[in-house]
Amino acid sequence: MSAIVRTGIDLIEIRRIAGLSPEIRSRFLRRVFTPLELEICADKDERLSGRFACKEAVSKALGTGIGEISWQEIEIGNDERNMPVLLLHGNAEKTAAALGISQWSVSISHTRDYATAIAVGTGTGPAPE
């Protein structure tokens, strides 16, 4: 086995989330974010946008995009210092394991207009066949 590093990055205009109509916003938020994420974000557009970008970045690092992996299988929690922490579930967790990715680092940032995130996954790589 050899060491592996997988990265993903994403950028989103915060107004994409802020501009959702109320009836669409509620359905969108429930489809994309877990209850934990919704609690952490407290309905703040910049926080929601940052976590959305982070989910996209993780899906890119996994090489799948959203589709094979659902939004809620990629969860962005917080550690004891309120830094973002990645939690994978279901197909996302299985895909990471198949790639040999065992550790993740994620970072989220935003300005007034944009939110961005980067995800870095490391590990020993896939087991030889």
Report the candidate in 76, 70, 73 with the shortest Cα–Cα distance to residue 54.
76
Instruction: Tell me the C-alpha distance between 79 and 67, whole Å.
Output: 28
Report the candidate in 65, 67, 32 with the shortest Cα–Cα distance to residue 48.
32
Which residues are known catalytic residues? 60, 110
Largest CA-CA distance found in the chain, in angstroms, rounded: 50
DSSP string, 10-47: EEEETHHHHTS-HHHHHHHHHHHS-HHHHHHHTT-HHH
Find where tokens 């830094």 sit. 83
